[in-house]
């Protein structure tokens, strides 16, 4: 896959996607957002690819949406730009592939929102997180007001969005924004290690588990349980389930 703003490499079932605009701290402009969407369209066609590690080049994961581009927008253009980012991030969230954000540095504004759209977030000790939009006269525009409360709770999300306060990786881990914190030099290898562990599991079971969680979290618990029951039943229609359970019993 060849892109102007992204780099992609693949190691068997694990792909590493890097936002490669270090001169702008990987700021999200229209071009980057469109290429991210195109990348995940291509990933959907790759049956071998199971897990994607998403990271940023240089000292930033993503420092935010491109303020230079946003500064000249009117209300309608602003809405369209927000819809673009939101639709791309929703595509990432709903991808059948598992997506791990390896947050190597600044994850501010749109960068934090991008990480929120991923399944798992792993952070370098140098990572910084914030939703600073209110200081720029706007609100988070790429679904941050919706995902952040779902992940860390309404009260803490309101605090971070209202104040724009920057938090470090340790605090982000404490409040449940990230899954783990590691040394900067070990971040990518640890993310790949987790990706390989996930890739070693049943492909369909992992896919169904993601679907059950994503759909269930957006509804009441009884509907969520029904979703899980349906997907649980579908697993028994697969030859993989038969083989793995026979292998377990034969042990």
Active-site residue list: 113, 133
Contact 28, 114 (CB under 8 A): yes
Cα 178 to Cα 125: distance, rounded to the nearest angstrom: 11
**Pairwise CA distance, residues 132 & 182, whole Å:** 25
Residue with tokens 């929102």: 113
- Reference 61, options 135, 15, 114; nearest CA is 114
DSSP line for 112-154: HHHHHTSSEEEEETT-EEE--GGGGT----SSHHHHHHHHH-H
CA–CA distance, 52 with 40 (Å, rounded to integer): 10
* CA dist list (Å): 1 to 17, 46, 79, 157, 216: 10, 11, 30, 36, 34
CA torsion 185-188-190-194 (nearest 10°) is: 180
């Amino acid at each position: 896959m060849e892109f102007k703003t992204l780099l992609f490499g693949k190691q068997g079932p694990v792909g590493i996607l890097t936002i490669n605009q270090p001169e702008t701290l990987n700021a999200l402009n229209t071009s980057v957002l469109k290429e991210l969407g195109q990348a995940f369209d291509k990933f959907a066609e790759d049956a071998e690819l199971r897990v994607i590690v998403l990271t940023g080049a240089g000292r930033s994961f993503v420092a935010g949406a491109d303020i230079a581009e946003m500064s000249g927008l009117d209300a309608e253009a602003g809405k369209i730009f927000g819809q673009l980012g939101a639709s791309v991030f929703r595509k990432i969230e709903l991808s059948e592939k598992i997506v791990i954000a390896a947050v190597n540095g600044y994850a501010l504004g749109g960068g934090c929102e991008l990480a929120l759209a991923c399944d798992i977030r792993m952070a370098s000790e140098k990572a910084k997180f914030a939703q600073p939009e209110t200081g720029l006269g706007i609100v988070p525009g790429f679904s941050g007001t919706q995902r952040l409360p779902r992940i860390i709770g309404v009260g803490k999300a309101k605090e971070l969005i209202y104040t724009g306060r920057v938090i470090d990786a340790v605090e982000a881990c404490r409040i449940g924004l990230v899954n783990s914190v590691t040394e900067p030099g070990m971040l990518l290898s640890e993310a790949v290690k987790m990706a390989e562990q996930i890739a070693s599991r049943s492909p369909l079971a992992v896919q169904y588990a993601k679907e059950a969680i994503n759909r269930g979290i957006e509804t009441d618990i009884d509907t969520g349980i029904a979703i899980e029951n349906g997907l649980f039943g579908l697993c028994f229609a697969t030859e993989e389930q038969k083989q793995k359970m026979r292998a377990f019993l034969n042990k």
